[in-house]
A and B are shown apart, each in its own frame.
Chain A
Amino acid sequence: MKRNYKFGLGAVLLVSSIGYLMYSGVEQSSAYYFTIDEFLPRREEVVGQGIRLAGRVAPGTLSKNTSAKGTELKFQVGEFSDEEGVLGSTETVGVEYLGVVPDMFAEGRDVIIEGTYTGGVVQAKSIMTSCPSKYEPEVEGKQAAAY
């Protein structure tokens, strides 16, 4: 039994170090994940903190400027809606980004923006585009609604 105790000690040590690694990992790399409607009411609380915003690029708000530093984007994002390319609510938040624009990025597309809210606008570090919904035919959506 004494030997099992030694092994048990080793296991406890291992498990607690995994626990510690996970705890400190979360501390270091966590970011709030919001949709636009969730974000807008509490934006002042998260100024300067890492956030991920999921939303839709508001049609008619995109401005692009290519320079020697890369492509500069300015646009508004709003809430999703079931209708393709249309916003779910009127309120939006401004986003600024400098870097390489993903292929699928366009007005009306759904995006996840990683960055920080600086009070006023979101400074984006990266923009991820989700596949356009026509990748998965609309029939799917109707069915999802039916169940």
Chain B
Amino acid sequence: MIEVGQQAILIGWLLAAYSIVMAITGGWLRRRDFVASAENGALAVWAAVTVASASMLYALVTRDFRIEYVAAYSSSTLPINYTITALWGGQKGSLLFWALILTTISAVVVLQNRHRHRELMPWVVAVLMTISLFFLSLVFFITPPFETLAVPAREGRDLNPLLQNYWMQIHPPSLYLGFVGMSVPFAFAIAALVTGKLDSTWIRTTRRWTLFAWFFLSLGNLFGALWAYEVLGWGGYWAWDPVENAAFMPWLTGTAFLHSVMIQEKKNMLKIWNMVLIITTFALTIFGTFLTRSGVISSVHSFTQSGLGPFFLWFLAFILVVSIGLLVLRLPMLRSENELDSLLSRESTFLFNNLILVGIAFAVFWGTMFPVISEAVRGVKITVGPPFFNKVNAPLGLMLLFLMGVGPVIAWRRASWAHLKKTFAFPVSSGLIAGAACFIGGIRNYWAIVSFSLVAFVLATITVEFYRGARARQAMVGDSFLRAITQLVAKNRRRYGGYIIHVGIVMIFVAITGTSVFRIEKQITLNQGETFEIGGYDVRYVGLEERDTLHIAYLMAVMEVFDGGNLVETLRPEKRFYKKPEQPTTEVAIRSTLGSDLYLVLGSYDAETRMATILAYLNPLIGFLYWGGLVLTLGTFVVIWPAPAAAPAAAYSPARGEAESRS
């Protein structure tokens, strides 16, 4: 299988190179047969990379310790599910896996579009295959995954215990799908620039792909946060670590893109801006990969230094030169057909939403790169910590939340005073009431009050939208209210699905507010039988428990949790000692309720006196992070689900804005 895998990678590499040449000559000379050959080439690349990945999977599952990668990232006692996920547990495997996703997506794009966008396709294929060729080059020349050991290992060194967690099984694939998915709109954008077909075709064709990529990027970020929360044991879920930022930046610009393309579709504005956004987003995915794999910025949980950095940097430079060159060349053709009419309009709200998202992305970039920048300018490395990111992003995030309430419902072109009053009277009063309720309820934190008021404001606008839509439908069709709502969503998936996604995001805002403002943190050393209090709970340290298995030795602190004098749960935060490689890890214990999480960590213990140091956190409202993610998923499915063939027109919500702006 080693031979098969190696050969498959080589064949894939050659085929990708062939596809690029054929696609470009075919596009240049307008030779349909050349392009068709390039498209078949892209499909063959997918087949080759699939064979290579399958061989690696086979080697992992059959525990073929002749292969260096298998010996380094698995062992004969590693459970089968983690053996499979070891495919992306290390540098080499994850690059192969990346290539697999990329070529799979490319193949799907070819099958989907080869008969539809004949003019664009040669260049789309050329771009996708160039990216594939880059990754396959890394896999083939720099980090060959099938490299064998001089002497076959008798036993593997096993997967890093920190990665033996279910979030880690799904976090990297989601992130990769998100990163790689952004190549599709990028490829179409470049094709549009090359061919000069600069209408909204490229945007409409890739709308689902963009959403697909955005969705997995969102999930990837969320899964990463949940992994950090449950595994790293510091009580939080987001630390503004370079690796987290690397995935967050393309999400921000991707979100901006997702919104601004609507303006181009509806108003033919922002054409240049959209090009800039998708180029930036794609470049940030490559930059993110560079950050996590080059060791340029020291990070607690990244791949350690490897020789890959320069390759990514050169590729990034190549992408930027080509795309910006093309963009400049086509600038005269990208002029807007419309102008901004008023500050109080949907167009302008979307623009501000874009500015803020890009502003946040820039601030995150600046903070992440600050050590490099300061070293270049002042000769000293200066780092900025989480306070920098929080300080900058908290007000920007709240502005964004505000616009999330305004943007979808304010009139196009120009909002009249009457329209504003009619649309926002209820939401604004809801927001004010929520703020007052927070104040009366005893909340004195200014940030929290503003945030919760805005949350109420946004939810109210969305509720009104659903309510009005359903009422109108009821009046027209005469359905029951519930049926009217489902029909409303089914007939305008894009719009109402979008609202559902917004609800998910609002819930995530609630979680962020709750955990950052109301978090309680305690560190306490206890003797057996002692009790401490945290956020209304009384927690009693009963004693230590031990357990030993083949793979892991466990040491647990038995903690009884009392709520109002009643024992509600017994938590066991543990220390684990993995035997291979020898490494201790800390496993947190969490009691989740609707309102908050009680999060216990066994910090350290004394084997003789049985004293234990416990870190205890109370994280209010953190559950909304999960639920928000679920709602976001639901909303995405509503939008992305193929509309029934009969009603494609309804999917593009009718020009209701115009109707309203006349009122």
- Which residues of A pack against B, CB within 8 Å? 3-4, 6-7, 10-11, 14-15, 17-18, 21-22, 24-26, 28-34, 38, 52, 54, 66-71, 99-101, 103-104, 112, 114, 128-137, 139-141, 143-147
Contact = CB atoms under 8 A, between A and B. Distances in A.
B31 interface: no
Nearest to A4: B340
B482 interface: no
21 contacts: A7-B351, A10-B352, A11-B351, A11-B352, A14-B359, A18-B359, A21-B396, A22-B388, A25-B389, A28-B387, A29-B391, A32-B382, A38-B381, A71-B613, A100-B615, A104-B584, A114-B385, A137-B68, A137-B72, A143-B306, A147-B142
Contact of B304 (A30, A38, A66, A131): A131
Interface of B: 68, 72, 90-91, 142-143, 147, 157, 160, 162, 298, 300-301, 303-307, 310, 339-343, 348, 351-352, 355-356, 359, 362-363, 366-367, 370-371, 380-389, 391-392, 395-396, 523, 525, 575, 581, 583-586, 601, 603-604, 606, 611, 613, 615
Contact of B391 (A3, A28, A67): A28
Contacts of B606: 66
Contacts of B340: 3-4, 7
B606 to A, nearest CB: 5
A7 B380 CA distance: 39
Contacts of B380: 32
A136 B301 CA distance: 12
Nearest to B391: A25
Nearest to A104: B583
A18 B360 CA distance: 8
Contacts of A144: 305-307
Q: Which of B304, B523, B586, B603 has the most CB of A within 10 A?
A: B304
Contact of A30 (B339, B342, B370): B370
Nearest to A46: B380
A69 B606 CA distance: 13
A69 B352 CA distance: 50
Given A18-B396, A136-B303, A143-B142, A6 B385 contact: no
B161 to A, nearest CB: 9
Nearest to B615: A100
A26 B68 contact: no
A52 B371 CA distance: 11
Given A25-B388, A140-B304, A103 B72 contact: no
A18 B362 contact: yes
B212 to A, nearest CB: 30
A100 B603 contact: yes
B615 A21 contact: no
B383 A33 contact: yes
Contact of A101 (B303, B310, B604): B604
A146 B142 CA distance: 11
Nearest to A24: B391
Contact of B604 (A100, A104, A145): A100
A143 B601 CA distance: 39
Given A18-B363, A21-B396, A136-B90, A146 B307 contact: yes
B581 A100 contact: no
B299 to A, nearest CB: 8
Among all A-B residue pairs, the 9 with the closest Cβ atoms: A100-B603, A29-B387, A33-B381, A144-B307, A25-B388, A147-B307, A25-B391, A29-B388, A18-B359
Nearest to B585: A103
Nearest to B295: A144
B257 to A, nearest CB: 18
Contacts of A21: 363, 391-392, 395-396
A118 to B, nearest CB: 20
Contact of B307 (A100, A103, A137, A143): A143
Given A14-B352, A26-B370, A69-B525, A136 B306 contact: yes
Nearest to A38: B381
B306 A14 contact: no
B516 to A, nearest CB: 15
A131 B298 CA distance: 11
A101 B606 CA distance: 13
A7 B525 contact: no
A23 to B, nearest CB: 10
Given A21-B395, A22-B392, 8 more contacts: A17-B395, A22-B366, A26-B384, A100-B603, A133-B304, A137-B157, A140-B304, A143-B143
A14 B356 contact: yes
A99 B614 CA distance: 11
Nearest to A112: B298
B564 to A, nearest CB: 28
Nearest to A100: B603
A126 B325 CA distance: 46
B157 A22 contact: no
Given A26-B388, A29-B391, A100-B603, A10 B523 contact: no
Contacts of A14: 352, 355-356, 359
